[in-house]
Structure 1
């Protein structure tokens, strides 16, 4: 899915949204400042299963999204034009956008500099929405490939990630590092280096819980060790559940003990932004529509985190 911007800024809806987004959303005691959000990707997977395209009529798609009671949307953005197309639709459907997911490629110098400028231009275009968190998952060498980055590439990527985070801080935003399973290969060297070689003030963590679980061989031990090591850097959680290793249609009880995870985070006084991302895979159950599933998701998450 990557307007009038002046109208968007001046709208009553946007003023109301801004009131919900205080300047320092991560201060202690400021619990759950954002409403529960949902990433666009899981909606894409539901729509694809039904032979539909999420982006062919984004207005209608976001109406479906809003019908569930969800109040916040986390899109994936690639260009400034993506932002411009999205802003008036968010206003129309009374949806907030406290966080966004933006692609980046940071392990080579020249490509990294171009990627940083692209992300920053998107961040500047997001000012009307008062977005606070920019999530990025630096590209692997090849999606689906088996080649790991070299030490030199990891060094370059960490340097660029820290630079990007520092620039976003100047804009009042927080950079949240995200991973899939590839970063957990080879003793999780990529995952650990991105956090150990960057300044915590510049680079926070978006913990995609199930990708860490799956990337560690379906290990809750590894997942909770990562929470113990880096929990204080978590500003956002991507929420997905499986049963027997298979992604389910709805978020609820399953392989990962989310109630224990939430308890551990509360013990650390960590209050992240909660983002549903209950995606489907080919072998997932097929019993309900996207809207039906997300109503169940929202109810369950609301019960366990508040």
Structure 2
């Protein structure tokens, strides 16, 4: 499952302790005021189950999105043209776009340079939308394989990520590192190195709660240790829930203790941008459509996070 989104898009404690002191530029001196967003990927999975394609008719798709009461949308981009195509529909349905998910490949020098250029071009195209957060999950060596990046490749990836974050900062944007489960393999060395080898002023964290949970063997211990280590770098949450390890149709009580997570972040005085991403997988229940599910998502989100 961790490669699906990509296919669609074509000294620890000491270092971590220092990272806790850093605060992303866009949160300094003020509380985050971004409305709750929803990622397009959750809608893609609901539409696919019905034999529909989200991108086939953005007018219809975003009208259904807006009908749920959601005010903010987090799409995924691979090229500038996709941004230009989307902007008129955001205006039509009065949707804002505080964050976006952008594909990247950063573990090889030449490919990394091209990827940085592409992301920065997309960032420039996003200026009319006043987007503040660029989320990226660097590509694995090969989607669906068990091959891990070498130490040299991780070093190159961290260098490129820091460079990208520094350039986005100049544009008034924050780069947020995102993971699936693959980055948690091999003692989570890719995940930790991306945070420990980058400057917190340049690279923040988009905590995809369930992928960290699943990637660590369905472990809340691992999830909350990540919050303890890197909590101050969290600028965004991707929110998903499961029951008995299976993704549910709507956000509610389940395997992950979200009230505890909300309290932990509040205790750190961290107010991340909240992004719903309650996706479906093959074994998910089948009792409601996307509109119904996303209305329910917002009710429980407000109960837990108060927004």
TM norm structure 2: 0.91
- Which residue of 2 is the match for residue 26 of structure 1? 27
Q: How does 1:227-238 map to 2 (within 5 A)?
A: 227-238=227-238
What's the counterpart of residue 242 of structure 1? 242
User: What RMSD, in angstroms, separates the aligned Cα atoms of the two structures?
Assistant: 1.0
Q: Is the 8 A contact 2:235 2:272 kept in 1?
A: yes
Q: Distance in 1 between matches of 2:108 and 2:39?
A: 28
Q: How many angstroms does 1:109 deviate by?
A: 0.2
Q: CA deviation at 1:302?
A: 1.6
Matching of residues 66-105 of structure 1 within 5 Å: 66-105=66-105
Flag the 1:158–1:252 CA change in 2: closer, same or farther, 3 A: same
Please, which runs of 5 or more residues in structure 1 have no aligned partner?
3-23
Deviates more, 1:32-41 or 1:124-133: 32-41
Superposition map of 1:216-295 within 5 A: 216-295=216-295
Q: Which runs of 4+ in 1 moved over 2 A?
A: none
- Cα contact 1:28–1:269 (8 A) shared by 2: no
**Counterpart residue number, 1:296:** 296
Q: Which residue of 2 aligns with 1:119?
A: 119
Question: d(CA) in 1 for partners of 2:271 and 2:143?
Answer: 32
Instruction: Give the number of aligned pairs.
Output: 284
Larger RCO: 1 or 2 (CA < 8 Å, sep 6+): 2
Match of 1:43 in 2: 43
* Alignment of structure 1 residues 128-277 onto 2, 5 Å: 128-277=128-277
Residue segments in structure 2 that go unaligned for 5+ positions in a row? 1-7, 10-24
Retained in 1: the 8 A contact 2:26–2:174?
A: no
Distance 1:56 1:29 in 2: 39
CA contact (8 A) 1:25 1:33 kept: no
| Cα distance between partner residues in 1 of 2:29 and 2:297 | 27
